[in-house]
Amino acid sequence: MRGLWKRSLGLVAVLALASCREEPEETPKETNQAVLEWSNASRELIPSMVGAFVPHSRQVAFTHVAMHDAINSIRHRYATYGTPVDASADASPEAAAIAAAHSMLVKLHPERQAELDERFVTSLAALPDSASKTEGLRVGEAVATRLWEQRANDGATAEPTYVAPTPEQGVWRQVPPWSDKGLYPNTFLAQWSAVRTWSVPSAAEFRCPPPPALTSETFVRDLEEVKLLGASTSAARTTDQTDAALFWAPITAPLLAIDVGQKMAVRKGLGLEDTARVLALGSMAAADAVIINIHSKQAYNFWRPITAIREGSPGMAADPTWAPLIDTPPNQEYPAGHPQQSSAVVNTYVQLFGSEPFATPLIVRNPQGRERGFNSFQAMVDDVVLARVIGGMHFRNSGVVGAESGRKIAEWVTGHNLQPVSP
């Protein structure tokens, strides 16, 4: 911590000498800009590669929880996730949020320290130099260090040890195009099934129920549906359904938590601590949903639609040439990860903002620049469930079960964390 604190003070000193400005007569009105800016810094560090969202769900949670705890170590409006740091009442909460996020991101991405340091200096330039600012920086760095130590040895750095089960009907095996590349669930960091959760008691306690039997009405119906609507050459799906599948494909839970959380904070005119709380809760829900999803997938090792259709299943003859609209991910099918994780995020915001339809559509933007508008939170969840069927990589029931699990995760996270502090 001493090294980080000295580095921050050095950056502040450089900033002060470069600006040579006196403290302004009127202190600028506090906004949520510091939290939004460093929330974006967190988002920009998420690479767009297969499985990248898994470790970065942890990064996003670390960053946003650190900002929340730093602010509330000073303001005391909400309970902190970790033990609060002692702080002077006049410490700058904005400086604390900036320092906490910067320090945490440097810990997580030491290879990006130079650009993070540059961003840090630029952020601090918006705050007048003062004892309040200096104290805020101390608090932010102390919070980041404390949170980092609190979650040390959480299992994230363990070696993946997944062993593929014996292939048979209903059991997962690798699918194209990954089967020719030697990729297995380890691509999605199989050890994540045992990573320590952020909020829920354990992944095992929130494990989804088993998938349906291959001869059940549910599975037969779902298999027929995905074969018809999820085929690369399907003439049965609508243009809007195809758009939904392509829209959701590159969006991940941590990205959704940031995008929707930020937009709701702006819509509701939230201040610094409320914005930090919204994003911290959404990020924790996303992180726990990722852990629980991988845990459940490894518990059941259920096969993907492409395998069931190409090899044949009870009641359906094999169709060896069938191909999905979107490449199937290189891990197990059940429960559907995107609906489970997206539902955890979206239902966290339902708990915070209510479930009523929006006065104007909420526009969500994906990493490829596509946009899609939603009239309610539930409409987002329903769209994700359908999109994974249309994409040809999931059965509908897998998405429905995943979405219900996500709702339960959200209710737990919001009911047990960052609660208002009684006056």
CB atoms inside a 10 Å sphere around CB 218 = 14
Per-residue pLDDT at 161:
79
- Measure the CA–CA gap between 299 and 211, rounded to whole angstroms: 11
Per-residue pLDDT at 259:
97
Q: Which of 419, 420, 381 is nearest to 403 (CA)?
A: 381
Per-residue pLDDT at 183:
67
Per-residue pLDDT at 17:
30
98: left (phi over 0), alpha (psi -120 to 50) or beta: alpha
Do you know the residue count of the chain? 423
Tokens 């709380």 belong to which residue?
277
Tokens 């009405």 belong to which residue?
217
The CA radius of gyration of the chain, in Å to the nearest whole number, is 23
Task: Fill in the amino acid letter for 208.
Answer: C
Per-residue pLDDT at 29:
52
Per-residue pLDDT at 396:
98
143 touches 96 (CB < 8 A): yes
Task: Write the DSSP string, 77-143.
Answer: SB--SSPPPP--TTS-HHHHHHHHHHHHHHHH-GGGHHHHHHHHHHHHTTS--SHHHHHHHHHHHHH
Phi, psi of 314 (to 5 degrees): -50, 120
* Whole-model pTM over 0.85: yes
Q: Which of 88, 95, 63, 58 is nearest to 73 (CA)?
A: 88
- Measure the CA–CA gap between 184 and 175, rounded to whole angstroms: 9
For 365, the token pair is 């933007």
Find all residues with CB under 8 Å of 267, minimum gap 6, and list them.
362
320: exposed, middle or buried (Cβ count in 10 Å: 0-12, 13-18, 19+): exposed
164 touches 121 (CB < 8 A): no
Q: Which of 224, 202, 400, 158 is nearest to 299 (CA)?
A: 202
pLDDT by 10-residue block (mean), the chain, 423 residues? 41 35 41 96 85 90 98 97 95 98 97 97 96 98 98 92 88 88 74 96 98 98 98 98 97 95 97 97 98 96 98 96 96 97 98 97 94 98 98 98 98 98 84
CB atoms inside a 10 Å sphere around CB 105 = 25
Per-residue pLDDT at 52:
80
